[in-house]
Amino acid sequence: MVASPPDGPSKATRWGDPLKLLPLLALFALSALAQAKGDMDADGWRYLINARNLMHGYMASPATLMFWNGPGYPIFIFPWVALGLPLALARLANAVCLYLAAVHCQGTLRILGVEKRSLLYTYLIAGVLFLHGSLLGSIMSESLSVFLMCGGAWHYCRGSDGGAGGGRTQAILAGLYLGWLALTKVFFGYALEASLAAALAAWPLFRRSRETLAAARTAALACAVGLLVCVPWLAHTWAKTGKIHYWGNSGGFQAWYMSWPEKEYHGDWLNWQAILEHEEYFRPHLDELHTVLKLDAVTQDSVLKVWSRANCKAHPRRCLENWRANVNRMVFGYPITAYAGGGSELATGNRSFIYALPFFLLAAAAVPGWLGRRRIPPAAHACLVFTLISLGGTSLLSAIPRQVFPVLPLVLIWCIVVAEKAVRIEGRWGRP
């Protein structure tokens, strides 16, 4: 393994090649229309209700206070809902988001010094995203989330690199993207908080390196701006629930499922309607479910978290096993609780290879990434830290591959930068 020669970023062009990437837009748009599902499928019903509620000045119904997601995606689809436009346009917007994510991926690769093969790598990244499960045909937030992630990464790397727009300006723009990302998937609010702490901790440690210090400063400012974007949301949830720092209230159900001690359950997300439809299989927890369903969403969340802590205290080994199952689901898509009709067979087979491929590449890049760390731009290291924080946090949830989707571009960009900056493969064929 030999370090490759430097390949600096192109100063002439710091974005992607939108024209050369147009075939991706055509593919994504056709797929969005071909894969179109019912408006109320998956989480679509909740997003549409939230968007309609915005027309009346609130997002979650005052009767339920169901903050299972932030306002990011409901705001995104609000124009179509408010104007009564066909939701097929919202699905086409998913395609546009994924296309723009690809354009930003190529720009990020160029800033990080990968110029020659950036177009090819971008097509490969887009292919992995497409096959992984982008839910283009659904009223879902995945495509918007990956666009916001890639847009934030591009502005951050440009700011760390001292781009023409100025480091501070680019950091603020990155923060706006990341803030909207946290409002779209509230989990990333916690990731931003942890990343801000990491950036502030790194700041004094790397004062002697100008580039690393710039990366830490830009990261801290971007995370801080992102969290400032979320202040109105946190103020809203505080006003409605009386709880400070209240990002959402779906976490109670996830923690509860993860704490179930019976061996036939694996900590994965379960629709409570499915539990009621399969009473015999879920009998150990039926009484608890009937109890919490009588409560409002805020009280539900608090009660379920108390129960989950009690379960983990009484059965710590089983909770650890469920956490391992979470990690397995992130990587392979299984195990899944196998109640009748649970669809566990859909999580195995060919798609598991697509799910696992980014993680295999990440593992393969670990050693060369460490040995060649001085050749890799500090901004790439910062993106890796944010990625690892996000993946680590996701493993504490009822993890499924869909929750990994927004960070996949950062995983693949890191692997590509390591391959280009820290590795050189030479064939020995034709030599004596």
Main-chain dihedrals φ then ψ at residue 318, nearest 5 degrees: -70, -35
Residue 336 lies in a domain: no
Closest by CA position to 228, among listed 270, 269, 193:
193
- Of 392, 418, 415, which Cα lies nearest the Cα of 403? 392
* Range(s) of the domain holding residue 413: 22-245+347-422
Q: 209 lies in a domain?
A: yes
3-state secondary structure 301-356: HHHHHHHHHHHHHHCHHHHHHHHHHHHHHHHHCCCCCCCCCCCHHHHCCHHHHHHH
Check whether 349 has a pLDDT greater than 70.
no
Question: What DSSP letter does each residue of 116-162 carry, written as one string?
Answer: TTHHHHHHHHHHHHHHHH--TTSS-SHHHHHHHHHHHHHHHHHHHTT
- What is the pLDDT averaged over residues 407-420? 97
In order of 48, 186, 344, the CA distances from 71 in angstroms are 11, 9, 31
Does 12 map to a domain?
no
> In a 3-state reduction of DSSP, which class is residue 246?
coil
Q: What is the pLDDT of residues 178-236, one digit of tens each?
A: 999 999 999 999 999 999 999 999 888 877 778 888 899 999 999 999 999 999 999 99
Residue 432 has pLDDT above 80, yes or no: no
Q: Is residue 428 part of a domain?
A: no
The CA distance from 390 to 403, in Å, is 10
- Total H helices, total E strands in the chain: 20, 0
Kindly tell me the burial class for residue 426, based on how many C-beta atoms sit within 10 Å of its own C-beta (0-12, 13-18, 19 or more): exposed
Q: What is the pTM (predicted TM-score) of this model?
A: 0.92
Distance CA 101, CA 95 (A): 10
The rounded mean pLDDT for the chain is 89
**What's the structural domain count of the chain?**
1
Instruction: Quick: pLDDT tens for 43-84.
Output: 888 999 999 999 988 888 888 899 999 999 999 999 999 999
Q: CA-to-CA distance for 146 and 185, rounded, in angstroms?
A: 11
What's the pLDDT band for 135 if we cut at 50, 70, 90? confident
Q: What percent of the chain has pLDDT over 70?
A: 91
- Rounded-to-integer distance, Cα 405 and Cα 245, Å: 25
Inside any domain, residue 178: yes
- For 141-154, how does the pLDDT look when each residue is reduced to its tens digit (9 = 90+)? 999 999 999 999 99
Peptide bond into 9 cis (omega under 30): no
Of 134 and 333, more confident: 333
Is position 42 within any domain? yes
153 close to 204: Cβ distance less than 8 angstroms: no
Asked if the structure places residue 190 within a domain, the reply is yes
Please say whether the dihedral angle defined by the alpha carbons of residues 77, 82, 85 and 87, taken in this order, is positive or negative. Answer: positive
In the predicted model, is pLDDT for residue 42 greater than 90? Answer: no
Contact 146, 101 (CB under 8 A): yes
User: Is residue 108 a part of any domain in this protein?
Assistant: yes
Q: pLDDT-derived band of residue 350, with 50, 70 and 90 as boundaries? A: low
Average pLDDT over residues 380-393: 96
